[in-house]
Amino acid sequence: MIPKPVSIYIHWPFCLSLCPYCDFNSHVSDSINHNTWLEAYKKELSYFADRIATRPVKSIFFGGGTPSLMEPKTVLGIISAISDIAVVDKHTEITLEANPTSYELEKFKEFKAAGINRVSIGVQSLRNQRLESLGRKHSAQNALDAIKSAANLFDKYSFDLIYATENQSLKTWQEELKEALKFAGGHISLYQLTIEKGTPFFKLYKDKKLTLPSNDEAADMYEWTNEYLQKNQYKRYEISNYAISGHECLHNLCYWNYDEYIGIGPGAHSRLHDKDNIIALMTAHKPQTWLDKVKEFGHGIQTHSLLSKTEIIEEIMMMGTRLEEGVSEKKFQGITKVGFSEVLNLEVVEQLKQQNFVTMGNGRLNLTPKGLLLHSYIVPRMLT
């Protein structure tokens, strides 16, 4: 029997500076010993060796933080360590998140030589004033330079933009996205700005010092964005991700399809498929704590829990309904051993269908474009 593929996430927790809207596990440090970090990553990978041995690796994703601040030899060392345990070949998607500063841009060639075959660039905006308001350290020209460099070096690349930001109108967003699409290489991620608790933006917004577009204005931007991308052959395959066929991010599809993945590094999560069970792991959040735990125990795992059937159902539904193709009942049954009719409130689903928020048929449950806009509100209400 052919072993099932697995995906591996590597978390690099450091950034040059912290963005005021970001709530990711990111830290600023003046002293980073890259050799120490490489050895720790390799040690935690070896802890999972029995689970991933000889299995094909579908994807490796270097996320953060800002992984493009890593030394290319560190990236090479991690990829080599995975290759020594599992099967990494020409089919393995290996993505590295990058910011478009000149320092990181200079390393693109070395990252490719290390084994990276896809980059995801945190552009966020092509307008200098908006970049400044978002706390970004690069310019619009830096962003364009990075995109052009990625296009010359990599067969697949993507970049992110944030919209519905301070003082942004539908017209200014339309102009910016039209310009951006000229440089897109098959994949683009478009996120509405969300205000997360614990961030500087949260306090500014609460104190009414940050004015964002109204809900109606943001909805207009969302609807126009979907229409415009589809007209230009970019399918919205997930709430915020658009791709020309064949350019979808395989690693993120692993999460949304509820496949098995292993997270390495500070604050990384894993979902391990163990017979009829799903095991959830999370490593220590703080970088030094994670390093200390790996040194002592061979891993940085902080929590280890067997998910209940209810938790698994909720996770599959919350993740799978983010996809335009929705949740397959056949796959859902394969993991949970129950069908849609046993976990869904069919009366609520029928109401949502009549309101054009949901479709259900041919063995799939989908949210419509209208429903995707209210994803986090709708999905919990469908479950019994």
The per-residue pLDDT for 135 is 86
Residue 57 tokens, joined: 């690796």
Q: What is the dihedral of CA 122, 63, 283, 202, to 10 degrees?
A: 10
pLDDT digit string, tens, across residues 6-62: 999 999 999 887 777 766 777 788 789 999 999 999 999 999 999 999 999 999 999
CA–CA dist 131, 135 (Å, integer): 6
Would you call 315 helix, strand, or coil by DSSP? Answer: helix
Q: State the number of CA atoms in the 13 A half-sphere of 121 facing the CB.
A: 32
pLDDT digit string, tens, across residues 166-187: 989 999 999 999 999 999 999 9
Closest by Cα among 364, 379, 378, 226 to 317: 379
Please classify residue 167 by burial: count the beta carbons closer than 10 Å to its beta carbon, then call 0-12 exposed, 13-18 middle and 19+ buried: exposed
Domain boundaries along the sequence of the chain = 6-254, 309-384
Closest by Cα among 258, 25, 251 to 158: 251
Give the pLDDT mean for 232-250. 96
The per-residue pLDDT for 30 is 77
Helix H or strand E segment including 122: strand 118-124
Q: What share of the chain is helix, strand, coil (3-state, %, to 5)?
A: 45, 25, 35
Distance, C-alpha 100 to centroid of its chain = 18
Residue with tokens 């052959």: 233
Would you call 271 helix, strand, or coil by DSSP? Answer: strand
Among 25-39, 127-141, 200-214, 258-272, top mean pLDDT goes to: 258-272
CATH topology for the 309-384 domain: Arc Repressor Mutant, subunit A (1.10.10)
- Beta strand extents in 321-375 (DSSP E only): 327-328, 358-361, 364-367
**Order of strands, sheet of 301-306, starting from the edge strand that comes earlier in the sequence:** 235-238, 241-243, 187-192, 156-163, 118-124, 93-98, 57-64, 6-12, 261-264, 269-274, 277-283, 301-306
Give the pLDDT mean for 318-344. 95
Give the bridge partners for 189, in sequence order: 160, 241
Residue 144 clears pLDDT 90, i.e. is over it: yes
The per-residue pLDDT for 143 is 94
Question: Angle at which helices 170-181 and 215-231 pack, to 10 degrees?
Answer: 30
CATH 1.50.10.10, applies to 6-254: no
Give the number of other Cβ atoms within 10 Å of residue 239's Cβ. Answer: 20
pLDDT band at 103 (very low <50, low <70, confident <90, very high): confident
List the end-to-end C-alpha distance of the chain, in Å, as a whole number. Answer: 37
Fold: same for 6-254 and 309-384? no
Cα 211 to Cα 31, 100, 116: the distances in Å are 37, 27, 39
Give the bridge partners for 14, in sequence order: 27
pTM: 0.94
Which has more pLDDT, 321 or 194? Answer: 321
Question: Is 7 in contact with 60 (CB distance < 8 Å)?
Answer: yes
Residue 130 tokens, joined: 């908006």
